[in-house]
Each structure stands twice: as structure tokens, then as C-alpha cells.
Amino acid sequence: MGETVGRGAVSSVGAAGLWWVRLAGRDVRGRWAWGRGRVLTVFAVLVAGLLGFPRAVPNSVGRVGSLLEVFLPWLGLAVVVLFGLALLRRSAVALVALLLPVAAWTYHFGGLLLPGAEPGARDLVVVQHNVSDENTDPADTARALADVGPDLIAMEELVLPGLSVYAKTLAPDYPYHVVRGTVGLWSKHPLSDTRWVDIRPDGITEGWSRGLRAVVRTPHREIAVYVAHLPSVRVGASGLASSWRDESADLLGRAVAAERLRTVILLGDLNGTVEDRGLAPLTSRMNVAQRGFAFSYPAGFPLARIDQVMARSATVGHIRTLPATGSDHLPVAARIILG
């Protein structure tokens, strides 16, 4: 008894076969699919190299290496563009070469796409937010941060009269808080041994105060919590201007290294991503988020996470952004797994 095949199936098989013939066939210059797209192949290898070895790009001129690292996850878009061009070019060698940057991107960032672990009884929830010194509604901002129900809330760019509004709004749920200069920490748990942390780079006046340290007495253990706001960086024709930020990160890294308590949490606007080598004095000593991208700046169109949560002798689980407030940054919330 004979079998029949539907016209739709024949059409699909025929279309696939035609595409393969076109891919494998010769172009107008007589080149086969494995001989076409050499330029695309070179670009694919280059993108893979940048993803796999960003530190190979020097920082000596314009801090180009750090600039690349800030936007490193976005190189995945280059892979998408190259894939489309390879299909249009019908280049088999370029398509195969694209496996290199895909593998490199997945190795570096694929884990961030995975879901976070289930909350544990010993976990802490923390929120980090640069509230902006131009925030016109500090009360609403404070309520938005408290709605997450975190154990700790860190803020930067605290100025009068907004500071008193934050303190009043958060007081019912966060009876413990400390402010040093323009940075502050609100806590559900008692605070002790609070002090200013000097992270001023050379050339900044004495009135500049952007670091604090406090001991948080949680039900599980005492934890040293640092809140910091590192100097801003600027991108111009000469590259990335980040020398003050880098110097401040080094001072903060030394303070963390000298911390006597075993468990440390760092919350702050560090004006850099965790891939940026300028933050190496911190990322080499502390754990960073294992899940989530949480791009936090600028709030209107987030391109990078410069608001960070790091930990020593603890794990930073899933990190996420919260809805926009009156700031030019988005708040970020993360779960700290004490273990």
C-alpha cells in the first residue's frame, strides 16, 4: 500500500534542501561555503578573544581595557549581528567560528541567566540604592525600598532636607541606622562599632565623606557591613577617566582586607562593573552576584550595573533591580546566603 506525503512537508524539506544547496554551493566568484566569509570569521575570532581575554586589552592609554569591561556583556549583540551576516553571506566557516564567541559569552555570563536558589532560613535580603541628591520625592523612594522587606538598606547621595525624610519614613521598620557624610545604612538588626571609612583619593578635599562601616548583629552572627560611594568616572574623547575611582577602590579594598570580622558585606555605588579591572582590589577579595544582570544605570535605559553587592565569607545569590524611583539609578536587591 503506497504512502503519501503532504505538500507542506515536501515544501519544507525542499526549502531546507534549497537553503543547504545555496549554503554549500559556489558564489559568483566560484567560492564554496567554506571559502566565503573570511572577514566575518576574523571578526568572530576577535569578539571571542575580547570576551575570553579582556585583560589583554591594555589600560595604559585612555583606560580602554576598563571601558571594554564595562560593556563586556553587550558583546553578545555583536555575535547576533555576525550570525545574521554569516547567513546572508552563506558562509559555513563564519557560522562555525561563531561558536567561539558564543562559548566565551556563555562561560562568562550564562550563569547569570539561571534562576536563583530557594531562600534559606539564614539568608539576608539587602537593598542598595544611590538615591540621587536631586531626588524630589525621598519619602516615596524610602517606601519603595522598604516594600521589599530587606534586612539592610544602603543609600548614597544623602543630603538635606531629604535625609530627615528618609530617616522618618524608615524609622518604624528600621529602628537602627547610621549616616556618615552622604552615605547611610538602615537595619532591622542592632548596629554597633560604626565609623567613617576614609576612601578619599589624593586631591579631594577634607569635606568629602563617602564611606562607612558598621557591625550588624544578626540572629546568626555579627557581620561587618561597608557602604561606599566611589568617585564618578567620565567617558570622553581621551577614553575613560577613572583614576580617582580606581584609587578609592584600592583604599576600600585595603579596609576590607584589614576587617577583623570574618563575614563582610559591601553595598555601594562603585561606579564600575564587576568585570572592570579598576574594581579588582574589591572583586579579588569578595564574592559577587552569581545570578542576575541587574543593570542599574542609567535608570531610563540601564546599560550597566554599577550599584554593587559583594560579600566575604558569604555568597551573593540572585540580584535584581527594583522599580525606578526619583533617582537616575535603579535600586538593586540581593540575597546574601550566609551558609
Q: Is the peptide bond before 138 cis (omega within 30 degrees of 0)?
A: no
* Residue-wise pLDDT tens digits, 157-172: 999 999 999 999 999 9
Pick from 67, 91, 112: which residue ends a domain? 112
pLDDT confidence band for 205 (50 / 70 / 90): confident
* Residue-wise pLDDT tens digits, 211-229: 999 999 999 999 999 999 9
- Residue whose C-alpha is closest to residue 25's, from 83, 91, 85, 97: 91
Tell me the CATH number at 291.
3.60.10.10
How is the beta sheet containing 307-312 ordered, strand by strand?
191-196, 211-217, 222-229, 264-269, 307-312
Least confident of 21-25, 112-116, 163-167, 183-187: 21-25
Q: Do residues 72 and 128 share a domain?
A: no
Residue 195 within any structural domain of the chain: yes
- State if pTM tops 0.75: yes
Q: If you write DSSP's letter for every residue of 120-138 in order, what string do you get?
A: -TT-EEEEEEE--TT-S-H
Supply 233's cell numbers.
568616572
Task: Say what the pLDDT of residue 20 is.
Answer: 47
Supply 252's cell numbers.
576600600
Tell me which residue range forms the domain holding 98.
7-112
* Residue-wise pLDDT tens digits, 87-111: 998 888 999 999 999 999 999 999 9
Task: Say what the pLDDT of residue 1 is.
Answer: 47
Decide: 38 and 243 in contact? Cβ < 8 Å: no
Confidence check: pLDDT of 3 > 70: no
Instruction: Count up the domains in the chain and report the number.
Output: 2
* Residue-wise pLDDT tens digits, 223-257: 999 999 999 998 876 678 899 999 999 999 999 99
Supply 94's cell numbers.
563564519
User: Nearest 5°: phi and psi at 194?
Assistant: -85, 145
Q: How far apart are CA 45 and CA 339, in angstroms?
A: 41
Confidence check: pLDDT of 6 > 90: no
Confidence check: pLDDT of 145 > 70: yes
Single-letter code of the amino acid located at 223: I
- What is the 8-class DSSP label of residue 202? T
The percentage of the chain sitting over the pLDDT mark of 70, rounded to a whole number, equals 89
Q: Do residues 89 and 212 share a domain?
A: no
Residue 35 within any structural domain of the chain: yes
Residue 1 within any structural domain of the chain: no
Give SS3 for 43.
Answer: helix
Q: Do residues 165 and 66 share a domain?
A: no
Q: Do residues 105 and 124 share a domain?
A: no
Decide: 82 and 47 in contact? Cβ < 8 Å: yes
pLDDT, greater one: 25 or 308: 308
- Rounded (10°) angle between helices 99-109 and 75-89: 160
E-strand stretches of the chain: 124-130, 152-156, 176-180, 183-187, 191-196, 211-217, 222-229, 234-236, 239-241, 264-269, 307-312, 315-321, 332-337
Q: Do residues 185 and 291 share a domain?
A: yes
Q: Do residues 102 and 48 share a domain?
A: yes
Residues 234-249, buried b or exposed e (16+ Cβ, 10 A)? Answer: eeeeebbebebbbbbb
Confidence check: pLDDT of 300 > 90: yes
Region 71-100: mean pLDDT is: 94
Q: How far apart are CA 257 and CA 88, in angstroms?
A: 53
First to last CA, the chain: 67
Single-letter code of the amino acid located at 74: W
Single-letter code of the amino acid located at 226: Y
Q: Do residues 177 and 316 share a domain?
A: yes
Residue 6, CA atoms < 13 Å, CB-side half-sphere: 3
Q: Do residues 139 and 87 share a domain?
A: no
Q: Do residues 29 and 128 share a domain?
A: no
Q: Do residues 103 and 155 share a domain?
A: no
Q: Do residues 51 and 153 share a domain?
A: no
Sign of CA dihedral 69, 71, 76, 79: negative
Q: Which residues have CB under 8 Å from 285's CB, separation 6+?
A: 253, 256, 257, 312
Pick from 77, 112, 147: which residue ends a domain? 112
Residue 2 within any structural domain of the chain: no
Single-letter code of the amino acid located at 57: V
Q: How far apart are CA 189 and CA 173, in angstroms?
A: 10
Residue 233 within any structural domain of the chain: yes
Q: Do residues 30 and 174 share a domain?
A: no
Pick from 80, 112, 144: which residue ends a domain? 112
Query: What Å distances lie between residue 290 and 103, 120, 331, 334, CA to CA?
Result: 18, 16, 18, 10
Decide: 41 and 91 in contact? Cβ < 8 Å: yes
Least confident of 76-80, 130-134, 203-207, 248-252: 203-207
